[in-house]
Chain A
């Protein structure tokens, strides 16, 4: 069976009050392999890793690490992270454990300081870290302050931190969730290099494409149990999704042809400034018809966020004409817009979609609490609020024990369902959905996609903004591409190809560019293509 084992966990059971987070889980990690651990939110991946990292002690089960002799395994007890570090297990948390105001060097040596006498020896530490980054091909300036570094580099610092502690087993907890596609690509190369040097990697994720691209073996978990272990060669996205969710999943959205009606949203020559007064949306014109989905594709940061903010009343704008259902939309007045028939699924559900400490019931009436039946004069009608939440929880399949649970306690997928329930249960004319499935697992993505299509079929105009080209292609009836604040093309989905969209997203257009402009665009375009294909 190939390489010897680096880690073996047998029969791990961990119970929390009311739930069995891990039920008789077996897991093995071979030396120098990338072992993907796949599962939906709440499937027990993190619990298993926390057991291996010493944050939880298992109720049952044993953990073995490789011994001094080849092929020999010894049983270990990992009581706390300190033990785990000592035994060569390193973990890169999803939320980085770095002190933002410290330099790279200070962060890496923290807890394992290099000293001469009582004094910190930073120059010696710096040399060691330089050496380490050269050995593993992980570039990072030891003197840079961490908060000034891009996220991808911060992650590299986290990996260096583990290697500095001589980690032979590296646990990466959803490492690509915070990365751009390009940064993710870099990370995969780094992972490759690490395994070449004998480091074994446990890669936790719920992104199927990544798993198939980088993993040597894949273990799928569902509801606290291991469903199976397989290899990329033996499986497909479809199979993995089915293993994760426990039933067949529609990765491709099923939808009939659009029955587009009259234009619901009309935008003519829209301009938006950002905080620094820079034009971030420039002369944008388009319309969305009732009963169609217009997808806005583009690399993040090309004005999509500001476009949505302007159309939802969160940012002021200049335009010749912006009409919703034939009426001019008001400037910076979200409530008036909502009353005109706007539904908005915001980009950042924690910041703009929900009040996390509030209950589900309160969150479901955030934009209607002042209207009957939820208000009687100045008083709130608590019964109506509660009943509304109960209905929505049932109808939109929100997994929560009751409507009084704070939404902050729900998983990401269920939080998004709370927003979708609130926005789609009202009579609306226009739905603006910005990154509606970011960070969600396949089951939730499938559900939210089906809801968006259902709205379209009911005759709602849908404006969908997404950085995921797959999402745009599978949902949209027409596609608009944004590049540097302008809409550079609008086309029907059946006329669009990934390659063409990729080029457009990178700013390459039909007209004749000058020589060096063309060169720089070619570089951009090839990067965008990589993103599209990755």
Chain B
């Protein structure tokens, strides 16, 4: 009888603040900096922030892919490969059909198929998940490199459109509400995945499977099905990131054009503590680092060799992974294949 807790358990707000303290401080700092900079030089600020959103988009998508898998207990380090392969197939589809919508769809499907491959390897075959992901990365690099022929160009790319009066808000309008479709879709996806993960039956079951699969199994949840579904959905989202690269951002394909974004996305996911909205914030921070890098290189105001400035996003990755911002705890069953008794 006396064993119940005497002290009251912390309210959800207190828990939230304790968990996200570093983030709240960074958020306030960056916001203050941006406002100050906007007052000082609105044109450059707007350009940098627009670039931030563009740079952040593939990172958020990659992080969403990673966290869907890991919340269900499957580590996906094949995000890089999923993005690259989807970027390539999306590109090819556009070259041969000329239809951007079909091309995006092909990219998404490619990602989903590679997700299926990863799920098959890690859930059914119970291969070490790091090796499974590496297989996908090497496969994508090899296939896209082999089949790519130089000289192909896309027939058009996805264009930005404004969202009516929202675009007239100063600073926020041009940055957030004057974008091409995949960028909008990304913002929608962040909140959609958040809703699914934390406010639906499916999300509760997914998180249970990632934390304690046996407990989920004993209450009749199909652990394998949950893992498959989440890894495939994640793959589709990584596919969208690939489509973004060729069809929205660049308009053409290059070998190994993902350039480590799939791995940075994992850092983003960890920095965002395996939550969609946290990952979005982290991706924006990384995006800001990339955008500043570009701005500093071309601005010419600071006399630092551009190689050092180019390191900025990667330095940030190292700092994040070294544990800055408090140790986040991954799902307990992350990376552990589940064996039924």
Contact = CB atoms under 8 A, between A and B. Distances in A.
B4 A99 contact: no
A153 B201 contact: no
A110 B219 contact: yes
B9 A93 contact: no
A152 B3 contact: yes
Interface in B1-17: 1-5, 9, 12
A149 B212 contact: no
B221 interface: yes
Interface string B325-336: 000010010000
Contact of A85 (B1, B2, B220, B341): B220
A359 to B, nearest CB: 23
A391 interface: no
B7 to A, nearest CB: 10
A145 B12 CA distance: 11
B3 A186 contact: yes
A120 interface: yes
A377 interface: no
A448 B293 CA distance: 70
A150 B3 contact: yes
B159 interface: no
A100 interface: yes
B200 A120 contact: yes
A205 B3 CA distance: 23
B47 interface: no
Contacts of A145: 9
A55 B341 contact: yes
Nearest to A106: B204
B3 A153 contact: yes
B211 interface: yes
B5 A93 contact: no
Interface string A39-76: 00000000000000001000000000000000000000
A99 B5 contact: no
Interface in B162-213: 199-201, 203-205, 207-208, 211-212
Interface size band for A:
35 or more
Interface-central residue, B208, B329, B332, by most chain A CB under 10 Å: B208
A111 B205 contact: yes
B215 interface: yes
A99 B211 contact: yes
Contact of B5 (A80, A111, A144): A144
B216 interface: yes
A112 interface: yes
Given A110-B216, A111-B216, A120-B200, A141 B4 contact: yes
Contacts of B12: 143
A140 B221 CA distance: 25
Contacts of B211: 99-102
B214 A110 contact: no
A216 B194 CA distance: 51
A80 B212 CA distance: 19
Contacts of A182: 2-3
B218 interface: yes
A106 B211 CA distance: 13
B5 A120 contact: no
Nearest to B210: A99
B71 to A, nearest CB: 11
A87 to B, nearest CB: 13
B164 to A, nearest CB: 29
B200 A81 contact: no
Contacts of B212: 97-100
B5 A110 contact: no
Contacts of A150: 3, 5
Contacts of A80: 220
B314 to A, nearest CB: 31
B218 A81 contact: yes
B271 to A, nearest CB: 19
Contacts of B220: 80-82, 85, 111
Given A100-B211, A118-B200, A141-B9, A93 B3 contact: no
A183 B5 contact: no
Contacts of A497: none
A135 interface: no
A81 B223 CA distance: 14
Contacts of A174: none
Pick from B200, B212, B218 the residue with the most CB of A within 10 Å.
B218
A186 B1 contact: yes
A98 B212 CA distance: 7
Contacts of A111: 205, 216, 219-221
B23 to A, nearest CB: 19
Contacts of B204: 106, 109-110, 113, 120
A82 B217 CA distance: 9
Interface in A257-297: none
Interface string A83-115: 001000001010011111110001101111101
A120 B199 contact: yes
B3 A143 contact: no
A102 B208 contact: yes
A118 B201 CA distance: 7
A83 B220 CA distance: 9
A149 B215 contact: no
B4 A139 contact: yes
B287 to A, nearest CB: 30
Contacts of A82: 220
Nearest to B196: A118
A111 B216 CA distance: 7
B201 A115 contact: yes
Nearest to A113: B201
Nearest to B209: A99
B9 A148 contact: yes
B165 to A, nearest CB: 30
Contacts of A3: none
Contacts of A110: 204-205, 208, 215-216, 219, 221
Contacts of A144: 5, 9
A119 interface: yes
B4 A153 contact: yes
Given A97-B214, A99-B211, A139-B1, 17 more contacts: A91-B218, A97-B219, A98-B215, A99-B207, A101-B329, A110-B205, A111-B221, A113-B204, A115-B200, A115-B201, A119-B199, A120-B200, A120-B203, A141-B4, A148-B9, A149-B5, A182-B3
The 6 A-B residue pairs with the shortest CB-CB distance in the complex, in nearest-first order? A111-B219, A97-B215, A82-B220, A113-B201, A152-B3, A99-B211
20 contacts: A81-B218, A96-B215, A97-B214, A97-B218, A98-B212, A98-B215, A99-B212, A99-B215, A101-B332, A107-B215, A110-B205, A110-B219, A113-B204, A118-B201, A141-B5, A143-B12, A144-B5, A148-B5, A152-B3, A153-B5
